[in-house]
Structure 1
Amino acid sequence: MNECCVTGFKWDGQPQGRIETSSSGGSTYVTGSNPEAAILIVHDIFGWTFPNIRLLADAYAEEANATVYIPDFFGGEVLSSEILCKDVSEWGPLDLPNFLARNSKEVREPEIFAFAKELRGKYRRVGAIGFCFGGWAVFRLGARTSGGLVDCISTAHPFWLIKEEIENVNVPVQILAPEIDPVYTPELKEFSNRVIPSLGLDYDYQHFPALVHGFAVRGDKENEAELKGLVRAKNAAVHWFNQYLH
């Protein structure tokens, strides 16, 4: 993992959702009340309690008219947002390699799939969006082998995404891609833009010039360019879900 995955800004604002318990016993942030359409958010490394991602969920619920879920996919462990804006030398005892090992694809995929199946059983239409860590997960949820768990996917600056996952996607795909991203590399961007159109899928690739990995969920609202980018990313996702969930 690159340092860009754990840098950024925490936004002001009070999330308006509620906490529920899933059938598996895990905690979930839920906002919105549409009984027909749901959006599953697979969080970034700062997890389900990060205020920014909850504020985004509130916006999706209102503007895309959906019930939005942010489950805890880190087993109760929370990476402190206090390290945001700090130099790596100030991260203290943070042990990213072990944190990532505890939350690897192999460890977390089964519960992500189980939650998506739970939503598919309750809602007529289901979309999924993943930020950073969540990027690989939504591609797997939208794979041709997933059994139709979701109707569309979106991702912003995905991490751990590999070519095989890109090749196997089978639902409409949106990618919100900053220009500067050491993990969603130029090679992966080129591969996505060459392969996904060949799959016969609706595809929306959006380029965000001069912005960096993490901008869509950790951008600085005091920086005009970053604010413009994160608002554009939010609006793009809202438009995407309005197209495919209604």
Structure 2
Amino acid sequence: MEHCCKYIASFSSQAPKGIESTIAEHKVYITSPDHSQNDIVVVIIPDIFGWSLTNTRVLADAYAAQAGVRVYVPDFYAGDHAPFDKTALKNFDLNQFISKHPPREKRDEVEHVAKAIKESSKAHRLAAIGFCWGAPSALYMGRQGGVADGVSFAHPSLVQDDDFSALAKPAMFICAEHDPIFTKEMENKARSIMADKANTQGDNRVYSTWHTFLGTQHHFATRGDEDDPYTARAMKDAQCLASNFFKSFRGD
């Protein structure tokens, strides 16, 4: 993970529009348009840059506006996060951070917060998307009996074949072409597992779609360079894919 997670291509120049609150003893960023639907909420499980990264909050604003849903970005690192300063980031000890905040061991905590969000908002449905660190928890919430009604990830890290084998809810996956963390071999194996689920018979059939963005790097969906036209288009298209996926769970 060292190469991809210790890199910020750019900070978003936009200003977040949401508010901050506390749910289940976790700080959380909340954003919703005036026409937001109360029947579905979306939970973003951020990468190691955490809940306060402007890029992630602006992306949450875009999901809210495009899908017409309320979006939550909780703090799962208790105020800790990778530094936003590019010079400090070069000396950031990623292994120590992951040891302190192991994504696979945090899955129950993440789901606990998601359940509290769903209950406090009185939503009927919940969708989750995980970026890098957040991917294992997103998949976990999509298992049989998990709190999510649909799950998604973008350029994941530390996922395992069993995460896909256990998946029981509709899913939408965003992958980067050049990703040393979620390699092409890993992506192909995961696709194979989900293909088996798609082509089975009866109630065990699981819907999923896969989208690999050519010419992109591991971090592109949240931390891509907005000043590069190619990357900016990839970011926008990935954003629209996720928004349409979330919108599909609305009751209207």
**TM-score (norm. length: structure 2):** 0.90
Say if 2:81 is the partner of 1:78: yes
Q: CA RMSD in A?
A: 1.5
Distance in 2 (alpha carbons) for counterparts of 1:171 and 1:106: 19
Residue of structure 2 equivalent to 1:136: 136
Contact 1:178 1:209 in 2 (8 A): yes
Residue of structure 1 equivalent to 2:200: none
Contact 1:16 1:58 in 2 (8 A): yes
CA drift of 1:19 comes to 0.4
Say if 2:225 is the partner of 1:220: yes
Please give the per-residue CA displacement for 1:39-73, whole angstroms capped at 9, x wherever unaligned. 00000110000000000000111111111000000
Contact 1:74 1:103 in 2 (8 A): yes
Say if 2:197 is the partner of 1:196: no
Say if 2:190 is the partner of 1:185: no
Residue of structure 1 equivalent to 2:153: 155
Contact 1:45 1:133 in 2 (8 A): yes
1:171 to 169, 176, 182: 169
Please give the per-residue CA displacement for 1:92-142, whole angstroms capped at 9, x wherever unaligned. 3x2211111110035422320101211333211110001111111100110
Say if 2:59 is the partner of 1:56: yes
Name the SS for the 1:129 alignment partner: strand
Say if 2:109 is the partner of 1:111: yes
Q: Kindly tell me: are residues 34 and 118 of structure 1, through their superposed partners in 2, closer, same or farther at Cα, counting changes over 3 Å?
A: same
Name the SS for the 1:35 alignment partner: strand
Which residue identity does 1:14 align to in structure 2?
A
Distance in 2 (alpha carbons) for counterparts of 1:182 and 1:113: 28
Which residue identity does 1:4 align to in structure 2?
C
Say if 2:244 is the partner of 1:245: no
Name the SS for the 1:69 alignment partner: strand
Distance in 1 (alpha carbons) for counterparts of 2:136 and 2:228: 29
**TM-score (norm. length: structure 1):** 0.92
Contact 1:176 1:206 in 2 (8 A): yes
Which residue identity does 1:125 align to in structure 2?
R
CA drift of 1:2 comes to 2.8
Contact 1:127 1:245 in 2 (8 A): no
1:211 to 208, 216, 221: 216
Contact 1:2 1:182 in 2 (8 A): no
Contact 1:2 1:183 in 2 (8 A): no
Residue of structure 1 equivalent to 2:16: 15
Please give the per-residue CA displacement for 1:192-239, whole angstroms capped at 9, x wherever unaligned. 211112212111100101111010000101111101100010000011
Residue of structure 1 equivalent to 2:118: 120
Contact 1:41 1:68 in 2 (8 A): yes
Which residue identity does 1:98 align to in structure 2?
Q
Which residue identity does 1:142 align to in structure 2?
G
Q: Kindly tell me: are residues 80 and 100 of structure 1, through their superposed partners in 2, closer, same or farther at Cα, counting changes over 3 Å?
A: same
Gaps of 5+ in 1: none
Contact 1:29 1:54 in 2 (8 A): yes
1:37 to 36, 40, 45: 40
CA drift of 1:245 comes to 3.1
Q: Kindly tell me: are residues 106 and 173 of structure 1, through their superposed partners in 2, closer, same or farther at Cα, counting changes over 3 Å?
A: closer
Task: Detail structure 1 runs of 4+ shifted over 6 Å in the superposition.
Answer: none
CA drift of 1:167 comes to 1.0
Identity across aligned pairs (percent)? 29
Contact 2:40 2:249 in 1 (8 A): no
